[in-house]
C-alpha cells in the first residue's frame, strides 16, 4: 500500500511541474452523413491460344537426336503482346517415370520463334531422361503483363504431352 501511495505522490509531483497543455482548434474534421459506393474491377489478361502441338525429332537411336514438342500458338488479336515481353512457358510433370525425374534434373531446352503472320512456334525438348524413360508433361503457354510492382498472368493455355519409352514416339492432347 505504501508503494502505491508513493507512486501516486510521485506522479502528482511530476504532473504539477509541467505547464498546462491547451486544446487548440483544428481545421481538419470530418462530419458528413453521406456515403458513397463504387464498383471495382481488375483487368483480365487475355489468354494465348494453342493452335497445335506435335511430337518431333523421333529417332531410332534415342541418344542421336533429342525429341521435342512443338507448339504453335498466338497471343490474343490486338493485344500488342510479344514473346520477349509477355510470354511465360511452363512445364510440370504429371505422370510416368520421366515425369517424376524431370523437375530434379532441370530438363528441357526451350526455343520460341516468330511471329509469322501472328503465329509463334515454341519447341520444348523432352530432355534426356524424358527421351529414354518416357513421361507425360503438362505444357503451358501463359500471357503475362508486367507492371512496376506486380506481374499479372492470364489463364494458361495447356496441352498434355506424352513421350513414350525410349523417345521413339510421342503425342499431344489439348
- Would you say 99 and 92 are in contact if contact means Cβ atoms under 8 Å apart? no
Distance of CA 155 to the CA centre of its chain: 10
In the chain the domains, ranked by start, together with CATH numbers, are 49-173 (2.60.40)
The per-residue pLDDT string of the chain (174 residues; one tens digit each, 9 = 90 and over) reads 555 544 555 555 555 555 556 777 777 777 777 888 888 877 788 999 999 999 887 555 555 667 788 999 999 998 999 998 998 888 776 654 444 333 333 445 788 899 999 999 998 887 655 556 667 778 889 899 988 999 898 998 989 888 877 667 788 888
Give ∠ CA 167-172-174 in degrees, rounded to 5.
165
Q: How many CB atoms lie within 10 A of CB 114?
A: 15
d(C-alpha 16, C-alpha 121), whole Å: 82
Amino acid at each position: 500500500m505504501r508503494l502505491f501511495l508513493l507512486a501516486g505522490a510521485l506522479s502528482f509531483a511530476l504532473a504539477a511541474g509541467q505547464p498546462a497543455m491547451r486544446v487548440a482548434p483544428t481545421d481538419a474534421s470530418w462530419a458528413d452523413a453521406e456515403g458513397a459506393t463504387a464498383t471495382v474491377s481488375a483487368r483480365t489478361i487475355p489468354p494465348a491460344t494453342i493452335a497445335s502441338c506435335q511430337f518431333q525429332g523421333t529417332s531410332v537411336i534415342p541418344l542421336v537426336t533429342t525429341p521435342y514438342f512443338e507448339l504453335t500458338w498466338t497471343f490474343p488479336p490486338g493485344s500488342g503482346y510479344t514473346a520477349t515481353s509477355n510470354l511465360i512457358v511452363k512445364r510440370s510433370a504429371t505422370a510416368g517415370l520421366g515425369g517424376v525425374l524431370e523437375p530434379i534434373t532441370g530438363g528441357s531446352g526451350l526455343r520460341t520463334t516468330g511471329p509469322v503472320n501472328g503465329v509463334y512456334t515454341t519447341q520444348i525438348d523432352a530432355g534426356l531422361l524424358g527421351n529414354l524413360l518416357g513421361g507425360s508433361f503438362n505444357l503451358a503457354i501463359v500471357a503475362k503483363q508486367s507492371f512496376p510492382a506486380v506481374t499479372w498472368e492470364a489463364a494458361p493455355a495447356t496441352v498434355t504431352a506424352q513421350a513414350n519409352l525410349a523417345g521413339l514416339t510421342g503425342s499431344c492432347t489439348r
